[in-house]
Amino acid sequence: MSDRYCVFGHPVGHSRSPRIHALFAEQCGQAMSYEAIEAPREDFAGAWQAFVAAGGCGANVTVPFKEEGYRVADVLSQRARRAGAVNTLIHGRDGRTYADTTDGVGLVRDLEAHGVTLDDARILVLGAGGAVRGVLDPLLAAGPRALHIANRTAEKAVSLAADFHPQERGQHQARVTGSGYDALEGSFDVVINGTSASLGGELPPLPETLLAAEGVAYDMMYAADPTVFLQWASARGARTIDGLGMLVEQAAESFFLWRHVRPDTAPVRDTLRREL
């Protein structure tokens, strides 16, 4: 019998995780199954316990259950503790639930795979929700010169920045600051959109000088066509990258935590791109 894994969400039918992990399992010769399970909004803990009772070994957790996943965990990784949410659960041999978050690792690895230098970079992150909180620690671990968080509600950005400042990184300390969109000043080497607004055709009021020369614009969302944010950045000379690679890279880290085998993400990313 193969080991059972799943992704929990509500809704979850659109998830590409079963496809990604099927490709990983085939590539790495792993005897495992992976399915999508729509858990009831009011009883995520019950859904996880039922899955484990039926032989489940681990799970990914997507919206709206990342904070619920945090709460069912017996043991949290340091990065999960910092993020306040998880996307990966492991049923340990000791019967305890171990939890981690791989979103930030996935983002950083995808940026590195595209040759983006984060060390000593000026980074701007748009948004101050859970998706952004989950990636800040790995971004800061990459050693940027400064990281600024901008959000429609300035207070949320300032509060989130305070949670992650100061950060000692080798020979220098990254400045972590926050503001509303209307207070954005200067230019940035890397601008990361951590909101889903651009998928709906919305764009925050961004200054024309936002991107430095040869700057990179990254959208954590992805679609068959470039998002509004990436269209805006491309028109201003930026190099643009969408979040498909982040999706694959965070999945690869979850796969490694479960199976102790690290898959080659490049062919899987190429396959998903063709299937968009």
Q: Which of 21, 66, 79, 122 is catalytic?
A: 66
Helices first, then strands: H and E counts in the chain: 10, 13
Question: Can 156 be counted among the known catalytic residues?
Answer: no
Cα(52)–Cα(46) distance, rounded to whole angstroms?
A: 10
Instruction: Write a three-state SS string for 217-256.
Output: EEECCCCCCCCHHHHHHHHCCCEEECCHHHHHHHHHHHHH
Nearest in space to 66 (alpha carbons), one of 254, 203, 201:
254
216-255 residues labelled b (16+ CB within 10 A) or e (exposed): bbbbbbbeeebbbbbebbeeeebbbbbbbbbbbbbbbbbb
Query: 84 with 30: CB under 8 angstroms?
Result: no
Query: 97 with 48: CB under 8 angstroms?
Result: yes
**Catalytic center residues:** 66
